[in-house]
Chains A and B, each alone.
Chain A
Amino acid sequence: MAQHEWEAVIGLEVHCQLSTKTKIFSGANTAYGAEPNTQADAVTLGLPGVLPVLNGAALEMAIKFGLSVDAQIARRCVFARKHYFYPDLPKGYQISQYELPIVEHGVLDIEVNGATKRIGITRAHMEEDAGKSLHENFVGETGIDLNRAGTPLIEIVSEPDIRSSDEAVAYLKKLHQIVVYLGICDGNMQEGSFRCDANVSVRRKGTEKFGTRTETKNINSFRYVHAAIDFEIERQIEVIEGGGKIIQETRLYNPGTGETRSMRVKEDANDYRYFPDPDLLPVIVTDDEIERIRATLPELPEAKRDRFVAQYGLPVYDAGVLTGEGPLADYYETVVKDSGADPKLCANWIITDLLGGLNKAGHGIQDSVITAPMMAGLMKRMADNTLSGKLAKEVFEAMSDGEGDADAIIDRKGLRQITDDGAILAVIQQVMDANPGQLAQYREGKDKLFGFFVGQVMKASQGKANPDAVNRLLKTALAGE
């Protein structure tokens, strides 16, 4: 197989659950994990006589997303009925948007292998999620839980601008970061808050015409998206090179085997008979409304990263790590501001010591026992020379173990660094008195013994002597001047 002769063309559709408290068209709770059907109200169940009323918060979140990807926000958008029969959708249609979505023509810049690439966002429309079908514990039947039905979604549709699984994952991660930053989605992929359908086709390099595409549905992790796309590209090339044809179809990814398989749906299944939902009036968004929402947008990841580089003098890598999540960036800024310590020192401690430990335990910054003010307390004591790096590590460990804040630990354990020249000189004298042989050798020219004396002084001071002061004072003392 000659993969290099082929080019993949990929477009992604991302379903993103909006973090509203209630459903898109009713006042039923949307919290995850409730007992089955306890959040399925009359509107969700599609009982006769009910009418949908649009949740203003869902609309605002969709607009926020549109603004964050430089898209056009429709001043007038319309909800449509998309008809299909499936028991997780009791009305027999999904309320979605078709001809006039709320968001159109956005862009997202991604970085892959150091190069920036612009991916077009065709549209993002609002719609309601479906319920869940449960097949376990049922023979010849299916159990339906409609708690999720009616949860507001935005479906974000990209242009077919993506050319590899790496680009697809970079795009998804960027999108994920943005919706989480905006606070419009919790981003929990395991719970299905952020899931992806991948449209994949291949064509010979240099040709313009798209090949026939397949759609792989509901992939719920970055890793699976990567694997599913790679599998699909390879499969399609094999089929075509073997003289076969790609059939336009929906496929499912099986994480167990790493393969996709055809869902074998009937040909007419995609006749959705869209029409404007007569139960819902056109939604009008005014310029004032859009400007009011624009003013509430938080600083987005890229802008924040660039600011961290400029404002704190951080390397791009450090700034990228620290702005990876909004709460982490806030944590960092609190530590720098409250401690007044060197921003690079703070970055090192947070990235290496704090995040290192949290990642190992599978925790996020929100789970950290060491809060930002506590971390600032530690940095402050390093900045004012109360703690050496070594003592700071000890205090850090104690804080991790829940022993309180830095000052309390320093006092309790007597970890204050000794910076007073007189006190250090007394220790030096004591060490010189105890090691007359080494002292004589040093004075005869055995310079290497200097390290020995530093070690002895640090040991005698229980690691509390300021290393710089020890070096300076020891030189003079050993010389006997």
Chain B
Amino acid sequence: MTLTPDQIQQVAHLARLDLAPDRVAIYAQQLTNILDMVGQLSGASTEAVLPMAHPLDMHQRLRPDVVTEPNQREAFQAHAPAVQDGLYRVPKVIE
């Protein structure tokens, strides 16, 4: 499988990565190599192997519906770039 420059640009855009044009070909080659390596698995015989649901053979534990988190707004907002009236300020979101 070979990734095209367009696919690289698209993936970078979806992940909001700012990709310099001269890096596109390099990433295309490197990501193609990774996919090819993982792709070797499709050649393995899996007839006698049970499908694995999750890398951990466990299931989700549940939490009781009890409030455990106190209000720590001041502490959290101390790290935010911009706040006002208790709100996080971000660049304008257009609908």
Complexed CA–CA distance, A143 and B68 (Å): 26
Interface residues of A in 103-162 (CB under 8 A from B): 133-135, 137-138, 140-146
Residues of A within 8 A of B37 (CB): none
The answer on a CB contact under 8 Å between B76 and A40 is: yes
Shortest CB-to-CB span from A254 to chain B, Å, is: 12
The answer on a CB contact under 8 Å between A143 and B88 is: yes
A40 contact from B10, B73, B82, B91, Cβ within 8 A? B73
Residues of A within 8 A of B65 (CB): 20-22, 55-58
Task: Tell whether A39 is near chain B: CB-to-CB under 8 Å.
Answer: yes
Task: Tell whether A280 is near chain B: CB-to-CB under 8 Å.
Answer: yes
Closest to A45 in B: B76
B93 contact from A45, A56, A87, Cβ within 8 A? A87
Tally inter-chain residue pairs, CB-CB below 8 A: 127
Residues of B within 8 A of A145 (CB): 86-87
Complexed CA–CA distance, A196 and B59 (Å): 32
Task: Tell whether A282 is near chain B: CB-to-CB under 8 Å.
Answer: yes
Q: A41-B72, A56-B63 are in contact. Are A281 and B54 (CB under 8 A)?
A: yes
The answer on a CB contact under 8 Å between B87 and A56 is: no
Task: Tell whether B67 is near chain A: CB-to-CB under 8 Å.
Answer: yes
Task: Tell whether A310 is near chain B: CB-to-CB under 8 Å.
Answer: no
Complexed CA–CA distance, A41 and B76 (Å): 8
Residues of B within 8 A of A26 (CB): 69
Task: Tell whether A252 is near chain B: CB-to-CB under 8 Å.
Answer: yes
The answer on a CB contact under 8 Å between A54 and B63 is: yes
A55 contact from B59, B62, B73, B85, Cβ within 8 A? B62
Binding site for A on B (CB under 8 A): 10, 13-14, 16, 53-56, 58-69, 71-73, 76-77, 82, 84-93, 95
**19 A-B contacts (beta carbon < 8 Å):** A20-B65, A22-B65, A36-B86, A37-B76, A41-B72, A42-B72, A42-B76, A53-B62, A57-B64, A58-B65, A59-B62, A83-B14, A85-B16, A133-B93, A135-B92, A142-B90, A144-B90, A145-B86, A280-B60
